[in-house]
Amino acid sequence: MKRVLFLCLALAIFASARPSLQFATERIEVGKRLALQLIFPLQELPENRGEINLVAQNGFSLVSIDSTDQMIRPGFDDMFESFFGGRNHSSYKARIYTFNLKAPKKTGRFNVGQITMVIDEQKRVIANEIYATIQRSYDDSALDVTLKPSKTNIYEGEQISVTLGFHTYENFEGNLQATDMNTGDDFIVHRNDMTNLKFEPVENAVREMQASIKYAWFSPTKNGTLQVPPFKFKYTKRGEPKVVEEKKQMGGMSFSSRSVRQESVEAEAATQPITLNVKPLPTEGKPEDFDRMVGNYSFKAEFDRTELKVGEAMTLAITIKGDGLPGSISDPKLPDFSDFRSVPPENNISKKISGNKVVTTKNIKVFLYPKKKGEFTIPEIKYSWFNPSKKKYETAVAGPWNIVVEKGDNSAESVFQTPVAAAGPAAVKKQEIESLGSDIRFIHSMKGATDKPVPYKTIWYWVALLATIPFYFIITFAVFRKRKNSNNVALVRKGKANKQLKARFANANAALAKGDAKALYAALENGLVDYLSDLTNAEFKGMTRPQMKQELEKRGVSAETISAIDSWLEKCAFARFAPVNPSAEEQKKMLKDVESLCENLGDLK
């Protein structure tokens, strides 16, 4: 039956071959050599032919052209198609033109170019759409990571954004983890939440994905040539195919088999370092009240009232908003409030992403109580900043204000200025004496009243009286000390530090229980910074890590403790914004270690 089938197939085949194109290899890799073959049956070759050429496109380059004559024999598939499909295939002689090319250094599906041949002294197009799929070499990395700044020439303190990009190739398998995302000590940084990072297919590419996100906003704290170090990642990729030979035994016979395997291997990827040219701020036109703010700012200051009575309060509300140092805004210089009694101002700082910038807002409230009646003038308040887009300093002015204070009904003024009568019986008027003289009442002696001993003439009376004197001074000292301590904001804040720390760690434990890693790292980082602020009454929020180190050194903190604080702040920030979260055990250990660190900071001054 098989002989009959082959006989039928052979009878159905006759010569009608046409020119065809094929690649010598199934896989074409980036930047590697490849061979494109044009198979031209000899009977189809034009007689008056001349030079054949390939005009390469899309990054392909032609290295050489070879040609040879060869007998082309049909395969079984061709014979089967001839018999059942009506197309005829047979052995034929053909000239094979081999175009040796070099692939472009990019992946995707591209048109190789156009093949031309000179026929009858005219250039004719033989083929003009020759598509090839370029794939990543297994030796190359399966992940590209980029970090691109919005600007590279900036002013000291100016805010820029950096975009973090990922590009995965067909041999990428996953397990992406960040190993180092340190930004150095020369910047104030606001990092973005990367939970919204989404990968999308790359157009005209096979099994490639890409994603990008604005990762952070930087503001340099000094001028000169500064560098953002590379961000480092590790991942798993598919390795190069390897032929594996296995020897087996079966039924007392030994034999060997070969198979092609690709094993998973661990690889690393890193961004290129970013070099920034940071220019110093100009000295010409620099205002006296300028204090490091660089960006586009707005300033507003106003009183809630300008007419009041002694004993009443008025509030000065100040709002400063700008896109300079993320999370940090300097205070304006306030005028002299010597005619008013004031309490420590309330400060509130917030920041949010608006457009392509991190906008920081600072609200300040100052409460003032007039000491006496009269008319008072509060001088104007100025606030200055440097605008890098306009390349000049700008100043906003609010005020002056005319304050009218009236006498209060039960004001502090009457308490301190009105004479107080001496203790004792009330004064008696003359007519009262005369009235009493017309009706004199005699005092009758009482029998037995003088027999009882007088208390102040006994020894126990004086012992009890003298014993109360030390208690009086003790109570007076305790009340005085309590009032003094209650007016000491720093002492009150330090006294509540441990209570506030417990509340913050309760939030961290709640986030850990919910499995919310981002909230856990945020609670740990903010808790450590706020605890340092409570213990020292110094605002550590908004400081760079070098500024924090310098402040802690001033307070006599040991170098080992400072290094531990700096290390944990970096770990929390790194874990908070890394694309992949640590394991649950690592999170529990981090929480325990930060708690232990805070316990050792209790004696900080």
Structure token digits, residue 455 = 């208390």
The pLDDT of 219-242, averaged and rounded, is 89
pTM higher than 0.85:
no
Which of these CATH numbers, 2.40.128, 3.30.450, 2.60.120, 3.40.50, describes 287-414?
2.60.120
- Block residue for tokens 């041949």: 117
Return d(Cα 375, Cα 382) in angstroms, integer.
Answer: 22
State the average pLDDT over residues 526-536.
79
- Rounded to whole angstroms, the Cα distance separating 5 from 82 reads 12
**245 and 258 in contact (C-beta within 8 Å)?**
yes
Question: Rounded to whole angstroms, how far apart are CA atoms 429 and 436?
Answer: 11
246-255, 408-417, 459-468, 546-555: least confidently modelled range = 408-417
Quote the pLDDT of residue 364: 94
4 pLDDT above the threshold of 70: no
Which has the higher per-residue pLDDT, 70 or 569? 70
Is the pLDDT assigned to residue 480 strictly greater than 50?
yes
User: For the chain, which residues make up each domain, given as ranges?
Assistant: 2-135, 143-278, 287-414, 491-599
341 near 391, Cβ under 8 Å? no
* Residue 388 DSSP label: T
pLDDT in tens, 47-96: 888 899 999 999 999 999 999 988 887 654 554 455 445 555 568 889 99
- Tell me: pLDDT of 430 over 50: no
pLDDT for the residue numbered 160? 92
The pLDDT of residue 438 is 47
Residue 12's pLDDT is what?
37
Q: 377 is written with which tokens? A: 């003038």
Structure tokens at 240: 């190069």
Residue 80: CB partners within 8 Å, gap ≥ 6?
A: 9
Bridge-based pairing state of the strands 314-322 and 187-191: unpaired
**For residue 197, what are its two tokens?**
């990072």
- 324 near 421, Cβ under 8 Å? no
State whether residue 57 is helix, strand or coil: coil
pLDDT (0 to 100) of residue 344: 83
- Res 497 pLDDT > 80: no
Better-scored residue on pLDDT, 479 or 492 = 479
Q: What pLDDT, on a 0 to 100 scale, did the predictor assign at position 415?
A: 41
Judged against a pLDDT cut of 50, whether residue 284 lies above it is answered with yes
Q: Which helix (H) or strand (E) holds 361?
A: strand 357-370
- Amino acid at site 558: S
Q: What's the mean pLDDT in 551-562?
A: 81
- pLDDT-based confidence at residue 558 (cuts at 50, 70, 90): confident
301, two tokens: 């200051």
pLDDT tops 50 at residue 412: no
411 pLDDT higher than 70: no
pLDDT tens by residue, 330-384: 999 999 888 898 888 888 999 898 888 999 999 999 999 999 999 999 999 999 9
DSSP assignments along 280-311, one per residue:
PPP-TT--TT--S-BS-EEEEEEES-SEEETT
- Confidence band for 484, pLDDT divided at 50, 70 and 90: low
What pLDDT score does 434 carry?
A: 45
Q: What percent of the chain has pLDDT over 90?
A: 32
Question: In whole angstroms, what is the distance from residue 403 CA to residue 24 CA?
Answer: 92
pLDDT digits (tens, 9 = 90+) for 295-311: 999 999 999 999 999 98
Lowest model confidence (mean pLDDT) among 35-44, 71-80, 202-211: 71-80
Using an 8 Å Cβ cutoff, are 64 and 56 in contact? no
2-135 belongs to CATH 2.40.50.1020: no
The answer to whether residues 378 and 401 touch, using CB atoms and an 8 Å cutoff, is: yes
Which residue type occupies 462?
A: W
Q: Which one-letter DSSP state was computed for residue 139? A: T
Q: What are phi and psi of 526, to 5 degrees?
A: -65, -35
pLDDT tens across 435-446, in order? 444 444 545 555
Compute the distance between CA of residue 63 and CA of residue 102 in angstroms, rounded to an integer. Answer: 7
Rounded Cα gap, residues 524 and 503, in angstroms: 12
pLDDT tens across 338-349, in order?
889 888 888 899
**CB burial of residue 160 (10 Å; 0-12, 13-18, 19+):** buried
For residue 205, the model assigns a pLDDT of: 73
Give me 228's structure tokens.
């953002």
Of the ranges 125-129, 135-139, 210-214, 293-297, which one carries the lowest mean pLDDT score? 135-139
DSSP for 445-474, please give it.
Answer: P-TTGGGSPPGGGSHHHHHHHHHHHHHHHH
Q: Which residues contact 176 (CB under 8 A, 6 or more apart)?
A: 143, 166, 233, 234, 235, 579, 580
pLDDT at position 568 over 90 = no
Judge if the upstream peptide bond of residue 400 is cis by omega within 30 degrees of 0: yes
Amino acid letter, 108: G
Residues contacting 138, CB < 8 A, separation 6+? 171, 238, 239, 240, 241, 262
Q: What is the pLDDT of the chain when averaged over all its residues?
A: 80
- The residue written with tokens 């290129």 in the block is 272
Q: Coil, helix or strand for 204?
A: coil
Residue 75 per-residue DSSP state: -
Report CA dihedral (71, 72, 76, 81) to the nearest 10 degrees: -140
Torsion of CA 231, 234, 237, 239, to 10 degrees: 100
State the amino acid at position 158 in one-letter form. E
**pLDDT of 490 higher than 50:** yes
Distance CA 320, CA 296 (A): 11
